[in-house]
């Protein structure tokens, strides 16, 4: 039954008149308080097949360095999320452990796998920066840095 509901939802999206489709406005640059939603997803990058873990941040509030007018233009923070990816290779693993530390998750005597189990509902502050697409035609909001929540 859930699949039928998803199919109807997908079909109704495709029935949207093309002229009514609007390009989403990226989140404004700046610092946000977030909560991690669910367990991190595991996957591989499309180009190089590099393994990664991906976290979903539910935005809770914007700090003073976020442009309030831009935030209002894109509809505020209600139900807004952003994803954050860390590669799990020997040379980049330190970035994941830095992130887990920013989430307030203790590393003492624990493996990274064990630490990942503690990420759901963890509070973490993130800095969002804008990044152009490879073709320079679009702008994306990306998590540039994670900081401990205060």
Number of domains in the chain: 1
The mean pLDDT of the chain is 91
Residue-number span of the structural domain to which 80 is assigned:
25-147
Prediction pTM value: 0.85
Residue 6 belongs to some domain of the structure: no
Residue 15 belongs to some domain of the structure: no
What pLDDT sits at residue 1?
Answer: 46
User: Are 142 and 56 spatial neighbours (Cβ–Cβ below 8 Å)?
Assistant: no
Residue 112 belongs to some domain of the structure: yes
- The CATH number that applies at residue 47 is 2.40.50
Gap between the Cα atoms of 62 and 100, Å rounded:
21
- pLDDT grade, residue 150 (50/70/90)? confident
Which residues make Cβ contacts (< 8 Å) with residue 60, sequence separation at least 6?
32, 33, 34, 35, 77, 123
Which one has a higher pLDDT value, 14 or 51? 51
Residue 7 belongs to some domain of the structure: no
Residue 58 belongs to some domain of the structure: yes
- pLDDT grade, residue 14 (50/70/90)? confident
Residue 30 belongs to some domain of the structure: yes
Q: What are phi and psi of 20, to 5 degrees?
A: -90, -5
Residue 18 belongs to some domain of the structure: no
The per-type count for the chain, helices as H runs and strands as E runs, is: 4, 6
Residue 76 belongs to some domain of the structure: yes
Interval 130-144: pLDDT, tens? 999 888 889 999 999
Interval 73-123: pLDDT, tens? 988 999 999 999 999 999 999 999 999 999 999 999 999 999 999 999 999
Gap between the Cα atoms of 43 and 87, Å rounded:
9
What pLDDT sits at residue 22?
Answer: 84
């Amino acid at each position: 039954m859930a699949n039928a509901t998803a199919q109807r939802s997908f079909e109704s999206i495709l029935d949207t008149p093309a002229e009514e489709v609007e390009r989403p406005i990226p989140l404004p640059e700046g610092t946000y308080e977030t909560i991690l939603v669910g367990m991190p997803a595991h996957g591989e990058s499309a180009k190089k097949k590099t393994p990664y873990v991906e976290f979903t941040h539910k935005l809770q509030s914007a700090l003073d360095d976020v442009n309030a007018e831009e935030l209002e233009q894109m509809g505020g923070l209600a139900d807004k999320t952003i994803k954050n990816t860390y590669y799990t290779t020997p040379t980049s693993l330190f970035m994941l452990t830095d992130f887990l530390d920013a989430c307030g998750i203790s590393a003492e005597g624990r493996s990274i796998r064990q630490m990942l189990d503690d990420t759901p509902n963890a509070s973490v502050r993130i800095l969002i920066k804008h990044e152009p697409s490879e073709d320079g035609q679009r702008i994306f909001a990306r998590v540039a840095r994670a900081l401990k929540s205060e």
